[in-house]
Amino acid sequence: IAADVPALLRQWESSSERFELVIADPPSFAPSATARDKALRAYEQLHRACLRLLAPGGLLLAASCSSHVDRAAFEEALARAAQACGVVVQVVERWGAPPDHPCLLAFPEGDYLKATLVRVAS
C-alpha cells in the first residue's frame, strides 16, 4: 500500500472493519537525541491509531529502529496509547536485535532494534 499512513489509518478507523493483526514498523522517528520527545509523541499517536483498528483479542506488533528511544520509553508510549484508547493490552512477546547483530554495553544506542507484540484483552 502506497499511501499517507495517518490519513489511511483515519480512513480505516471510520469504516467498521477491524483487524486481527496490525504491524506498525515506521522508519526511525528520532534521528537525534533532540528528537526523542517528538518521536515518543509520534509513536504514541501511531499506536493509538493502530489500537483503534484492532478487533477484541487482536494483535499489534509495534516496532522501532530509533536509537535514541530505549525499550522502556517505547513501551511507555505504547501503554499510554492503550490507556488513551481505553483498552488493556497484554505483552505476548518482545524482540530485539538478532544474535548476529551484537550490542556493546558501552554503546547502549546500538541496542536500537526493538519490537513488542501485544494483544488487546477481550
Alpha-carbon span 115 to 66, nearest angstrom: 11
- Indicate which CATH number applies to the domain containing 52: 3.40.50.150
Looking at residue 80, its pLDDT comes to 98
Average of per-residue pLDDT values in the chain: 94
User: Looking up cell 518482545, which residue turns up?
Assistant: 94
What does the pLDDT look like over 47-60, one tens digit per residue? 999 999 999 999 99
Q: Where are the alpha helices (DSSP H) in 1-122?
A: 5-14, 36-51, 71-85
Alpha-carbon span 67 to 50, nearest angstrom: 22
* CA-based nearest residue to 25, from 118, 119, 120, 115: 115
Q: What is the pTM of this model?
A: 0.91
Q: Directed axis angle between helix 5-14 and helix 36-51, to 10°?
A: 30
Domain extent, residue 81, equals: 5-120
* CA-based nearest residue to 88, from 79, 100, 97: 79
What does the pLDDT look like over 11-61, one tens digit per residue? 999 998 899 999 999 999 998 999 999 999 999 999 999 999 999 999 999
Q: List residues with catalytic annotation.
A: 65
The gap from C-alpha 110 to its chain's centroid, in whole angstroms, comes to 19
Question: What's the number of domains the chain is made of?
Answer: 1
Look up residue 34 and give its three cell numbers. Answer: 533532540
